[in-house]
Amino acid sequence: MSEKISRRRLVQAGAVAAAGAAIPAAAEAKNRRKKKPVQDVVVVGAGLAGLMAARTLVAKGKRVKVLEARGRVGGRTYSPKYDDVTLDVGGQWLGPTQDKVAALAGKLGVKTFKSYWEGQAVYQRSGSRTLFNVTSPIPPDPDGGETLGFVLKLENLAADISRSAPWQDPNADFYDGQTFETFKLANTTGDGARFLTDLATNAVWACEPRDISLLHLLFYISSAGNETTPGSFIRLTSTTGGAQESRFVGGSQQLSIRMAKKLGARVVLRAPVRQIRQEDGLCHVTSDKGTWRAKQVIVAVPPAVSAFIDYDPILPSDRAQLIQRFPQGNAIKVQAIYDKPFWREEGLSGYVNSDEGPVKLMYDNSPPDGSAGVLLGFIEGQEARLAGRMSASARKSAVLDNFKKTIGNAAGKPKAYVEKNWAQEEWTRGCYGGFLPPGALTGFGPALRKPHGRIHWAGTEHAEIWNGYMDGALRSGEDAAKAALKKL
């Protein structure tokens, strides 16, 4: 499933995929042959953020090019077909208050449907398997009450955190001076409460509580709402009423495919951008498909990936230091396809919480009409790091063991098995999004959205609302387009 551009091809072209890379000789020769017209804006990256930025600019009559490294659009959304079943191997869900993504889907004619959320869920803990109603607010753990109390504490703290400048919070130094692990240990006592907190951290940030700054976590919770609704941790982790409520018919990549279709030849695929040089009042954006000149540039890639571009003049120290502290999370998404969702007939919802890796979280991910059965498993945080070191066959067998133990023996014999390790994707380097360790927001936060000369930053990691989500990606693209428009 690797989408890596052939390294041999890049080497032949004289390119080296690293910061400070040489400009491909073939690209330079092509430029000399034919000088392209100056663009108002060049957008780097055809994910949701980049395409939304381009769409916004084109609607204002601007001349735009979108340069995309991969041979497809959509970035962290990708919806290929297996056995006639469309699978979202990247982002897939949308929920209440994610108004941008819902509105765009409406405009583009992409329909949505509700996630399957009926029947019994499985709580696999300390070697025993307990069933509970999937609509219960929390699994049947003796520490369930303590867990809910801790969640409410987080909700209250997050309610005060600014979405635009969390580093200005009066408690910013205190929150950013500790990991979420430190905070969890100081505010919980029960093993169950700690386990459920770890599981939720894995599920939302694809990292461990020890990896993430408490301030960044509170900001992220605060961002999980819209202009009129405050953010909520419960909304982040819920299906009904939350971020996992609905899916897109035909897969989430449809949004990007349809936006790109409208943009037409403005989108150039297999054009990884290697260098952005600002000179003589213009930006010179060099990709493997040639150099484009533009008045403004929007870089719409994950912050960690933006570090692989060579900037001339170099990035200001604040931005350079910030992106050195902005790792992507770690998740492997695994899906198994069956003739039908047989677990539904047994009264199971397909939803699982487990303390046995590699898969600790599962969902029913069958198509809307239930014409095939799909079980979805997430391998996240430390489990993804460990599973990423296994051979593919050992990982598959460990995953199917999890499926059998929690859903039943039939789950061990799928028709097809599909996995995607996003940390191995050259143009993504991890998922679901970037998160910040202690000290990063208070040290370098103001650099997050500050342009570098004519270069603006987009991508879900820059969003004030629904940071980390498809909705946030669209908002960040629109915001960057507005900032670029002001300068044109």
**Which residues here bind ligand FAD, judged by CB under 6 A?**
44-50, 67-70, 75-77, 90-93, 272-273, 300-302, 305, 309, 331, 333, 422, 427-428, 431-433, 459-460, 468-471, 473
Shortest distance, CB of residue 409 to ligand FAD, whole angstroms?
Answer: 27
In the chain, helix, strand, coil percent, each to 5?
40, 20, 40
Nearer to ligand FAD, 333 or 405 (CB): 333
Type of residue found at 198? D
Contact (Cβ atoms closer than 8 angstroms) between residue 487 and residue 246: no
Nearer to ligand FAD, 23 or 44 (CB): 44
Shortest distance, CB of residue 307 to ligand FAD, whole angstroms?
Answer: 10
Shortest distance, CB of residue 90 to ligand FAD, whole angstroms?
Answer: 4
Nearer to ligand FAD, 172 or 204 (CB): 204
118-122 contacts at long range (C-beta below 8 A, 24 or more positions apart): 118/344, 118/349, 119/344, 119/347, 119/348, 119/349, 120/347, 120/348, 120/349, 121/348, 121/349, 121/351, 121/352, 121/353, 122/348, 122/351, 122/352, 122/353, 122/354, 122/406, 122/407
Shortest distance, CB of residue 470 to ligand FAD, whole angstroms?
Answer: 4
Alpha carbons 167 and 213: distance in angstroms, whole number:
12
Nearer to ligand FAD, 193 or 331 (CB): 331
Is 207 strand, coil or helix? coil
Shortest distance, CB of residue 197 to ligand FAD, whole angstroms?
Answer: 20
Q: Could you tell me the two tokens for 47? A: 């994910």
Alpha carbons 33 and 297: distance in angstroms, whole number:
23
Shortest distance, CB of residue 45 to ligand FAD, whole angstroms?
Answer: 3
Nearer to ligand FAD, 31 or 171 (CB): 31
Question: Residue 290: CB partners within 8 Å, gap ≥ 6?
Answer: 27, 30, 31, 36, 271
Nearer to ligand FAD, 63 or 72 (CB): 72
Nearer to ligand FAD, 361 or 398 (CB): 361
- DSSP string for 384-414: HHHHHTS-HHHHHHHHHHHHHHHH-GGGGS-
Which strand (E) or helix (H) includes residue 455? strand 455-457
Shortest distance, CB of residue 476 to ligand FAD, whole angstroms?
Answer: 6
Shortest distance, CB of residue 454 to ligand FAD, whole angstroms?
Answer: 17
Nearer to ligand FAD, 16 or 185 (CB): 16
Contact (Cβ atoms closer than 8 angstroms) between residue 63 and residue 39: yes
Alpha carbons 50 and 44: distance in angstroms, whole number:
7
